[in-house]
Structure 1
Amino acid sequence: MNIYAHRGNSGFFPENTMYAFEKSLDLDIYGIELDVQKTKDGVLVVLHDETLGRIFDGKGSIKKLTFDELREANLNDEKLKDKTNCKIPTLEEVLELIAPTDLNLNIEIKNNKVKYKDIEKDIVNLIKKYKMENKVLISSFNHKSLKIVSKLNSKIKTAYLVGPSTFKYRNLKKVLKICKDCKCTCIHPSYDVVNKEFVDEAHKKGLLVQVYTVNSITIMKKLIKLKVDGVFTNYPKIIKTIVND
């Protein structure tokens, strides 16, 4: 089973920082997951929230701040705020770290709420620069972005993210059709929407089912019985022990 360190080894280290990614390198797992947005001056940065305040100090939206302004933000953690590897990283910095390793990388494009012009093109070009087409999977709740990625570079695999809100508008059949239309390799559902029908129908369509965000041993055991193909977790070392039992 594919185990991804969700936002790095984020159960023990600050999410989406180089510190959390560095602490994932020796975990003997399949890959690392992270979130990407774009600054006012066009830099691809790794951050989950569309605004500052929760993890890092400061105010303002990522889209309206320059990279230098974002880099000045400190962690809301007095013990770690001065560490150089606890600043907001660029996607390029992470690719430089991961490229020499055997780890795969799941890049989530965070554009379901805020739109970033040409973010797909910029990400694809950077992946190509580091020759990581075969090591990267791009995911998004925005299926239009996945279509763009596939058109830009068919070598890069894509995954459609599915949460509870998705099923307010689309049933499983419609969701699987979107995956087909976008030429997705995977579907990434929230753990609370996964059941036997979901996994079986996705597998019939040739899709890998990789589930987020799995931090419970009880849920992990359920997913193993359902024969999912991968999970995203804040505690990759702990979840790996369950898989290996």
Structure 2
Amino acid sequence: MTATPLILGHRGAMAYAPENTLEAYELGADQGAGGMEIDIHATRDGMIVAIHDDTIDRTSNGTGRVSEHLFDELRRLDFGTGLPGDFAGARIPTLDEIFDLVERRDLVLNIEVKDIYRHDDSYGELARRAADEVLRRGLVEQVFFSSFNHTSMAELKLSHPDVRTGLLHMMSLHEIGNYAATTGADAIHPAHLALTPETMRQARAANLAVNAWTMPAPFSSRSEAEQIDDLIAAGVDSIITNTPDIAVVRRAALAKVEALV
């Protein structure tokens, strides 16, 4: 029998609402997601906020790097600009506001630290500050961290051994168990295209959680629903998707089919 994976809204229900906003997270939860995947950056005055890019140009009516703006400046901007629906005026959320949502709706939270190309410790410090807040608020069981920068996850695990960490990757990893052990990781986060039967076998042998994510075209020739079906059939622990509603429906449909067999 296949697993019943947790559904995580990628940047919230970003297919339907402005990504990395409270509106997108709330919508994802309303659609049945058990948690959210978010991205974090720090403002010039040190506030931790949720945003994917290190600039605000694509997702707001402002310009410039997140790190160049004070939080109050970012808060006045519209992060729902140009999107369909009633999202005009959506604001950039703080990590504390997201933690409030996690507690109120009993969600799981995956915090991705965007430090793949960084050569200084600013993003390592950001991860440690976020982990401090996770510990302070007693959310260790509901929050985990991930990054494409596996060194940053190893360092976070050393400084905060109680927090859970995962290794994001788009290609297959060699000797997954041994590699993950060098970083202290609790999970791997493979893209759909990197998830093979051998990946699953090695991860399970190493007692690693598998939190996989779907990929948009042109990176995948499979539709979102087809990728979700693949991941459910593979037996992953979590599916990170732009369309939580589709994932919830597909999960229920496959469970119903199995119950009839």
Structure-2-length-normalised TM-score: 0.83
Whether 1:244 aligns to 2:247 is no
Q: Equivalent residue of 1:99, what SS?
A: helix
**Deviation of the 1:243 alpha carbon:** 1.2
- Give the residue type in structure 2 aligned to 1:106: N
- Quote the residue 2:105 is aligned against: 101
- Quote the residue 2:82 is aligned against: 77
Q: Equivalent residue of 1:3, what SS?
A: strand
- Quote the residue 1:139 is aligned against: 146
Assess if the C-alpha contact under 8 Å between 2:150 and 2:167 holds in 1.
yes
- Quote the residue 1:89 is aligned against: 93
- Quote the residue 1:152 is aligned against: 159
Q: How does 1:20-169 map to 2 (within 5 A)?
A: 20-75=24-79, 76-77=81-82, 80=86, 82-83=88-89, 86-114=90-118, 116=122, 118-164=125-171
Assess if the C-alpha contact under 8 Å between 1:2 and 1:231 holds in 2.
yes
Q: Distance in 2 between matches of 1:62 and 1:176?
A: 36
Q: Distance in 1 between matches of 2:54 and 2:237?
A: 29
**Deviation of the 1:25 alpha carbon:** 2.9
Whether 1:213 aligns to 2:214 is yes
- Quote the residue 1:232 is aligned against: 240
- Give the residue type in structure 2 aligned to 1:77: G
Q: Distance in 2 between matches of 1:110 and 1:80?
A: 29
**Deviation of the 1:186 alpha carbon:** 0.8
**Deviation of the 1:205 alpha carbon:** 1.3
More moved, 199-208 vs 25-34: 25-34
Q: How many equivalent residue pairs?
A: 237
Against the structure 1 CA distance between its residues 110 and 212, is the aligned structure 2 distance closer, same or farther, given a 3 Å change threshold? same
- Quote the residue 2:174 is aligned against: 172
- Percent of aligned pairs sharing the same letter: 28
Assess if the C-alpha contact under 8 Å between 2:144 and 2:165 holds in 1.
yes
Structure 1, gaps ≥5 residues long:
none
Structure 2, gaps ≥5 residues long:
216-222, 254-261
Assess if the C-alpha contact under 8 Å between 2:177 and 2:205 holds in 1.
no
Assess if the C-alpha contact under 8 Å between 1:172 and 1:198 holds in 2.
no
Structure-1-length-normalised TM-score: 0.88
**Deviation of the 1:176 alpha carbon:** 4.2
Assess if the C-alpha contact under 8 Å between 1:120 and 1:148 holds in 2.
no
Q: Distance in 2 between matches of 1:220 and 1:133?
A: 27
Assess if the C-alpha contact under 8 Å between 2:214 and 2:227 holds in 1.
no
Cα RMSD (Å) of the superposition?
2.0
More moved, 139-148 vs 20-29: 20-29
- Give the residue type in structure 1 aligned to 2:161: S
Against the structure 1 CA distance between its residues 81 and 232, is the aligned structure 2 distance closer, same or farther, given a 3 Å change threshold? closer
- Give the residue type in structure 2 aligned to 1:3: I
**Deviation of the 1:40 alpha carbon:** 1.6
List structure 1 runs of 4+ shifted beyond 4 angstroms. 78-82
Q: Distance in 1 between matches of 2:24 and 2:247?
A: 17
- Quote the residue 1:190 is aligned against: 191
**Deviation of the 1:209 alpha carbon:** 1.3
- CA offsets, 1:87-136, max 9 Å, x none? 11111111112113321111111111345251122101111222111110
